Amino acid sequence: MFRKIFALAWKDTIIRFSSRSELLFFLILPVVFTVLLSGGVGEDQNSDNRIPLLVVNEDDSELASTLVDALAASDVVGINQQPRSEAELLFADEAAPALLVIPAGFGAAVVAGETAVLDLRQLPNNSNASAADRAVQTAVSQVSQPWAAARTSVAEAGRLEPFADAAARQAYFQQAAALAKSQLAAAPERVTITQPETALTNANADAFDQAAHQSAGQLITWVFIPLLGTSALMAFERRYGTLRRLLVTPTGQSTYLLGTVTGQFATAVVQMALLIGFSILVLHVSWGQSPAGLVMVLLTFALASVALGVMLGTFVKTEGQASNLSIMLGMSMALLGGCWFPIELFPPAVQTAVHVLPTTWAMQGLSDLVLRGADVAQILPETAVLTAFAILFFVVGSLRKFQP
């Protein structure tokens, strides 16, 4: 039986790579898309991997300078201060995903208790721009805390006893702001851990790693599509009559399925190993602190994917139909699963709905390992769901009648 399974697996591998175009999906496209979407070849660990942020400071106030200093100290963005004309030219050339303009009068408006407006421009549909936006909001929140507390205090004091005039109200506001500043300065330093301690060994652990995200996402995309292509192999067997002739021999359906699954699964393992090695050597991506967890997610993902390919193989009629369906489903499920763009950029309803896709769970597991330093225990839910997907797809595929 094992000889038959190995022979079937080897036969499918030969058929799959009989066309040179298969190398396009196996290695060339995954490498090209990973490099392009990662922003180029990775740099060493000592380089500044922060997201570039153009800053135009047209306000001479102390508050504006404090805001610039807070942004400069950010782990997420690296600021590039320029005059407005130069900054707008650089932003138009997409030299940075976001441009922040601090207008004249910003500090005076905040001190006066008025609404101060910042001009933040972002490149459309850009995850780095969204990350820069959150970094700016965090910095603004930090530097405006005393003034926000003062405004709240003024509102409460005015509710209890109205101020005699605008001058009295402004004097109270200045006193409250000064008190809030002194209290915040004297407050003890607080440490907030937002991810496992193992992830903090990387100096840039708090920053979004585009290369790591794209390496994981493109691996899932380009391994998923060929595994769905298992359906095309089954259609090929039917077209040439080899499946009919095979099943009239002592080789049963279970042996045939095991041989088909084994060949595609083993090829996927080799492909994943090559893509991970490329990302480590060329893009300097760290694949987390748990090799066992990484193996568990990758193997259960590959198993669920090839099972889905087997199930599709019982529905499709021709090779062309199977190939087109594999590419269409593979691309759309990878996109919706967060493999191309962070799933946090999608509307909340979409984020919930896409949990019916195996790609979502695979990407979530790899993101937890690669970006958040998760261990085996923390990715058990993802591996359990992927295993359940594999069982479901295999059961449906097995219950379907083969049409040799």
User: What is the pLDDT at residue 345?
Assistant: 83
By CB atoms closer than 10 A (0-12, 13-18, 19+), residue 196 is middle
**From CA 91, how far away is CA 126, in angstroms rounded?**
13
Torsion of CA 23, 25, 27, 30, to 10 degrees: 160
- Exposed e or buried b for every residue in 55-80, given b needs 16+ CB within 10 A? bbbebebebbeebbebbeebebbbbe
* Residue 25 CB partners (closer than 8 Å, separation 6+): 222, 225, 226, 229
CB contact at 8 A, 221 and 301: no
100 forms bridges with which residues in the sheet?
A: 55, 120
Tell me what the mean pLDDT of segment 314-324 comes to: 84
By CB atoms closer than 10 A (0-12, 13-18, 19+), residue 18 is exposed
pLDDT digits (tens, 9 = 90+) for 241-266: 665 555 555 555 667 667 778 888 88
Q: What is the CATH number of domain 50-143?
A: 3.40.1710.10
Torsion of CA 159, 161, 166, 167, to 10 degrees: -130
User: What is the pLDDT at residue 206?
Assistant: 44
User: What is the pLDDT at residue 200?
Assistant: 41
Between these two residues, 158 and 177, which has the higher pLDDT value? 158
Asked if the model's pLDDT at residue 293 lies above 60, the reply is yes
Mean pLDDT score of the chain: 80
Residue identified by tokens 């099943």 is: 247
pLDDT tier, 170 (very low <50, low <70, confident <90, very high otherwise): low
Asked if the model's pLDDT at residue 225 lies above 70, the reply is yes
Asked if the model's pLDDT at residue 233 lies above 90, the reply is no
User: What is the pLDDT at residue 254?
Assistant: 66
Helices 291-313 and 358-370, packing angle to 10 deg:
170
Q: Where are the domains of the chain?
A: 2-41+209-399, 50-143, 144-202
Structure tokens at 73: 């100290």
Taking CA atoms, 318 is separated from 42, 156, 231, 255, 264, in Å, by 42, 73, 9, 23, 19
**From CA 149, how far away is CA 175, in angstroms rounded?**
11
User: What is the pLDDT at residue 256?
Assistant: 66
Between these two residues, 275 and 231, which has the higher pLDDT value? 275
Q: How far apart are the first and last CA of the chain?
A: 21
Structure tokens at 380: 């058990």
